[in-house]
Structure 1
Amino acid sequence: MATANRALFMLFGGTGDLALRKLYPALFELYKKGSIDNHFALLGLARRPHTDEEFQKMVLDSISSEADNQEQAEEFASHFYFRSHDVTNVEHYRALSKLADELDKKYELDGNRIFYVSMAPRFFGIVAKNLKDEHVLSDNGGFNRLVIEKPFGRDYDSAEKLNNELTTAFKEDQIFRIDHYLGKEMVQSIPVIRFGNPIIDAVWNHNYIDNIQITLSEKLGVEDRAGYYDTAGALRDMVQNHTMQIMTLLAMDKPASFVDTDVRAAKIKTLENMNFYDTEGVKENFVRGQYGAGSGSAAYRDEPDVPHDSNNDTFVAGKVTYKLPRWEGTPFYVRTGKKLAAKATRVDVVFKKDINNIFAKAYLPDTLKTNVLSILIDPRGGITLRVNVKDSKQGFHTETIDLDYLQNDARASEVPQPYERLFHDILNGDHTNFASWPEVAAAWKYVDPIQKYWDETQPNFPNYEPGSMGPKASDELLARDGHSWYFPEEK
Structure 2
Amino acid sequence: MSGEKMSASFVIFGATGDLTHRKLMTAFYSMIRDGLLSDDFCIVAIGRRKLSTETYREQVCASLGKFLKSPVDTKIWQRLERMIFYYEFDFTQSDGYRDLNSYLAKRDKESNTKENRVFYLAVAPSFFETIIHGIERGELASSCRGFCRCVIEKPFGKDLETAKKLNDTILRVFPEKSIYRIDHYLGKDMIQNIMILRFSNLIFESLWNNRYIDNVQISLTEKLGVETRGDYYEDSGAMRDMVQNHILQIVSLVAMEPPVNLKMDSIRNEKQKVLEALEKIDETFLENNVVFGQYAEGFIDGKKVQGYRSEEKVDAKSETETFVALKLQIENFRWAGTPFYIRTGKRLKEASGEIIIQFKELPHSLYNAEKNLAKPNLLILRIQPKVGLYFQFNTKDYASHSGIIPITMDTGASDAAQGNTPEAYERLLYDILRGDGSLFSRWDELEAAWLFADKLIEYREQKKTDFPNYAAGTMGPKRAFDLIEKDGRSWVDMH
Q: TM-score range by the shorter chain?
A: over 0.9
> Is the partner of 2:62 in helix, strand or coil?
helix
Q: Work out the CA distance in 2 between the residues paired with 1:12 and 1:63.
A: 19
> Residue 374 of structure 2 aligns with which residue?
368
> Is the partner of 1:86 in helix, strand or coil?
coil
Structure 2 residue corresponding to 1:249, chosen from 247, 250, 253: 253
> Is the partner of 2:471 in helix, strand or coil?
coil
Shift of 1:138: 5.5
Identity, in percent, stands at: 37
Q: After alignment, is 347-356 or 407-416 more displaced?
A: 407-416
Amino acid at match of 1:199: I
Amino acid at match of 1:434: F
Q: After alignment, is 392-401 or 469-478 more displaced?
A: 392-401
Q: After alignment, is 370-379 or 480-489 more displaced?
A: 480-489
Is 1:299 aligned with 2:307? Answer: yes
Structure 2 residue corresponding to 1:225, chosen from 229, 252, 256: 229
> Residue 21 of structure 1 aligns with which residue?
22
Amino acid at match of 1:14: A
Structure 2 residue corresponding to 1:397, chosen from 403, 417, 429: 403
> Residue 182 of structure 1 aligns with which residue?
186
> Residue 269 of structure 2 aligns with which residue?
265
> Residue 283 of structure 1 aligns with which residue?
287
TM normalised by structure 1 equals 0.96
Structure 2 residue corresponding to 1:159, chosen from 149, 153, 163: 163
- Over residues 122-160 of structure 1, what are the superposed CA-to-partner deviations in whole Å (9 max), with x where a residue is unaligned? 222222232123211254530000001000011111111
Structure 1 residue corresponding to 2:122, chosen from 112, 118, 125: 118
> Residue 84 of structure 1 aligns with which residue?
88
Q: Work out the CA distance in 2 between the residues paired with 1:291 and 1:369.
A: 33
Structure 2 residue corresponding to 1:132, chosen from 133, 136, 141: 136
Go from structure 1 to structure 2 and tell me whether the alpha carbon gap of 1:140 and 1:306 turns closer, same or farther (over 3 Å shift).
closer
- 1:388 touches 1:400 (CA, 8 Å); kept in 2? yes
Equivalent residues in 2 for 1:456-467, closer than 5 Å? 456-467=462-473
Is 1:56 aligned with 2:57? Answer: yes
> Residue 214 of structure 2 aligns with which residue?
210
Is 1:238 aligned with 2:242? Answer: yes
Q: After alignment, is 20-29 or 270-279 more displaced?
A: 270-279
Go from structure 1 to structure 2 and tell me whether the alpha carbon gap of 1:459 and 1:36 turns closer, same or farther (over 3 Å shift).
same
Amino acid at match of 1:183: G
Q: Work out the CA distance in 1 between the residues paired with 2:360 and 2:224.
A: 34
Go from structure 1 to structure 2 and tell me whether the alpha carbon gap of 1:73 and 1:175 turns closer, same or farther (over 3 Å shift).
same
> Residue 45 of structure 1 aligns with which residue?
46
Is 1:321 aligned with 2:329? Answer: yes
List runs of 5+ in structure 1 lacking aligned partners: none
Q: Work out the CA distance in 2 between the residues paired with 1:105 and 1:367.
A: 70
Q: After alignment, is 140-149 or 275-284 more displaced?
A: 275-284
> Is the partner of 1:78 in helix, strand or coil?
helix
Q: After alignment, is 153-162 or 75-84 more displaced?
A: 75-84
Q: Work out the CA distance in 2 between the residues paired with 1:415 and 1:149.
A: 23
- 1:60 touches 1:74 (CA, 8 Å); kept in 2? no
- 1:132 touches 1:169 (CA, 8 Å); kept in 2? yes
Go from structure 1 to structure 2 and tell me whether the alpha carbon gap of 1:75 and 1:382 turns closer, same or farther (over 3 Å shift).
closer
> Residue 308 of structure 1 aligns with which residue?
316
Shift of 1:395: 2.8
- 2:296 touches 2:470 (CA, 8 Å); kept in 1? yes
Q: Work out the CA distance in 2 between the residues paired with 1:248 and 1:443.
A: 10
List runs of 5+ in structure 2 lacking aligned partners: none
Q: Work out the CA distance in 2 between the residues paired with 1:58 and 1:170.
A: 32
- Over residues 177-222 of structure 1, what are the superposed CA-to-partner deviations in whole Å (9 max), with x where a residue is unaligned? 1100000001100111111100100010000001000000011111
Q: Work out the CA distance in 1 between the residues paired with 2:400 and 2:346.
A: 47
Which aligned runs of 4 or more in structure 1 are off by greater than 4 angstroms?
65-68, 409-413
Is 1:335 aligned with 2:343? Answer: yes
CA RMSD of the aligned region, Å? 1.6
- Over residues 316-344 of structure 1, what are the superposed CA-to-partner deviations in whole Å (9 max), with x where a residue is unaligned? 00011111110010010000001111110
Q: Work out the CA distance in 1 between the residues paired with 2:180 and 2:109.
A: 26
Q: Work out the CA distance in 2 between the residues paired with 1:413 and 1:18.
A: 26
Shift of 1:466: 1.4
Structure 1 residue corresponding to 2:456, chosen from 450, 453, 458: 450
How many residues align? The count is: 487
Amino acid at match of 2:176: E
Go from structure 1 to structure 2 and tell me whether the alpha carbon gap of 1:89 and 1:201 turns closer, same or farther (over 3 Å shift).
same
> Is the partner of 1:125 in helix, strand or coil?
helix
Q: After alignment, is 41-50 or 314-323 more displaced?
A: 41-50
- 1:285 touches 1:318 (CA, 8 Å); kept in 2? yes
Shift of 1:62: 2.1
Q: Work out the CA distance in 2 between the residues paired with 1:24 and 1:199.
A: 40
Q: Work out the CA distance in 2 between the residues paired with 1:299 and 1:409.
A: 39
> Residue 36 of structure 2 aligns with which residue?
35
Q: Work out the CA distance in 1 between the residues paired with 2:494 and 2:230.
A: 28
